[in-house]
């Protein structure tokens, strides 16, 4: 009697995968992971970063190759009209709520097109998405956040640790509250021109398996201490491309003058 081969499991869609994870007893949070290069790529970044006279494009290409997450590119935004309902919640908490609470929504498949979520100054949520067609499909839909429903509205286009993780040996600077059109390439070229020896840059964290990422941009540098050329405004703010943003740095250097 012939033996039948077992039928392979069907591939889950994005919404079904989210539903399956939500049903698990311990699935109350999304897993976010640090965006960092592998040890294999790190030496290449160190070699290129040490050469102030080298080609910027070569280092930028090496950074692109070393970035483990290849997030989709945002082109526009849509707003979730929450008013001041989320003013006491961190970005991580409301991102977690948006994804987990809307897996049964009619627009759940569009979560894959979310690139970034931020709180606006008005405390509304600004969602950066991959295309205008996605924005149009979301317009007028309702999002559940912390058990309450809020409408989508069309936004504006212009709107021994070292052993375990070798990146811990390198000074970093975080630029807070970046938007989807943040020009990281221009920033990197400016840091190179200042001879601060940057070696890697990326969004600090992203949601594992999903394009959505944090709004904190992290730059790593060659050494383990702050460069003298970065000691401006107490390393608590940065002025760049008509934008003022707050910054934080490696814990060992965050209190430097």
Clarify whether residues 86 and 145 are in a common domain.
Answer: yes
Q: Which of 130, 154, 178 is the last residue of a domain?
A: 154
Where a domain ends, among 94, 125, 154? 154
What pLDDT, in 10s, does the model give residues 119-139? 876 678 889 898 888 999 998
Helix axes 56-66, 39-49, angle to 10 degrees: 170
Residue 257: the pLDDT is 30
pLDDT at 160: 37
Domain stops at, among 119, 139, 154: 154
Beta bridge partner(s), residue 172: 220
In this structure, the answer to whether residues 97 and 141 fall within a common structural domain is yes
- Judge if 82 and 140 occupy the same domain: yes
CATH assignment of the domain containing 130: 3.30.70.330
pLDDT value of position 27? 46
Low-confidence spans in the chain with pLDDT less than 70: 1-33, 69-71, 121-122, 155-165, 207-211, 231-257
Q: What is the pLDDT of residue 254?
A: 38
Domain that holds residue 130: 76-154
Q: Are residues 112 and 213 in the same domain?
A: no
Examine residue 27 and state whether it is found in any structural domain, yes or no. Answer: no
From residue 252, how far is each of 164, 175, 176, 191, 227 by CA, in Å? Answer: 18, 17, 19, 21, 13
Provide the Cα torsion 81, 85, 88, 91; round to 10°.
-30
Q: What is the pLDDT of residue 161?
A: 38
CA distance 38 to 41: 5
Count up the domains in the chain and report the number.
2
Looking at the fold, whether 206 and 223 belong to one and the same domain comes out as yes
Both 128 and 149 in one domain: the answer is yes
């Amino acid at each position: 009697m012939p033996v039948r081969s077992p039928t392979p499991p069907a591939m889950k869609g994005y919404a079904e995968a989210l539903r399956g994870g939500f049903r698990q007893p311990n699935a109350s949070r999304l897993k976010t992971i640090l965006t960092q290069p592998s040890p294999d790529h790190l030496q290449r970044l160190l070699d290129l970063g040490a050469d102030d006279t080298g080609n910027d494009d070569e280092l930028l290409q090496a950074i692109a190759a070393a970035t483990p997450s290849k997030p989709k590119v945002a082109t526009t935004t849509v707003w979730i009209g929450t008013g001041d309902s989320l003013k006491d919640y961190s970005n991580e908490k409301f991102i977690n709520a948006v994804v987990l609470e809307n897996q049964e929504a009619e627009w759940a498949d569009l979560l894959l097109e979310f690139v970034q979520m931020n709180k606006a100054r008005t405390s509304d949520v600004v969602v950066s998405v991959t295309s205008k067609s996605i924005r149009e499909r979301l317009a007028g839909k309702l999002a559940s956040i912390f058990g309450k429903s809020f409408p989508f509205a069309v936004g504006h286009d212009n709107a021994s640790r070292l052993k375990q993780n070798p990146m811990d040996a390198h000074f970093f600077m975080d630029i807070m509250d970046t938007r989807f059109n943040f020009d990281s390439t221009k920033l990197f070229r400016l840091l190179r021109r200042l001879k601060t020896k940057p070696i890697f840059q990326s969004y600090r964290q992203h949601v594992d398996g999903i394009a959505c990422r944090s709004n904190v941009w992290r730059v790593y540098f060659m050494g383990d201490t702050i460069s003298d050329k970065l000691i401006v405004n107490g390393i608590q703010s940065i002025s760049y491309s008509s934008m003022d943003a707050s910054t934080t740095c490696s814990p060992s250097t965050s209190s430097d003058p």
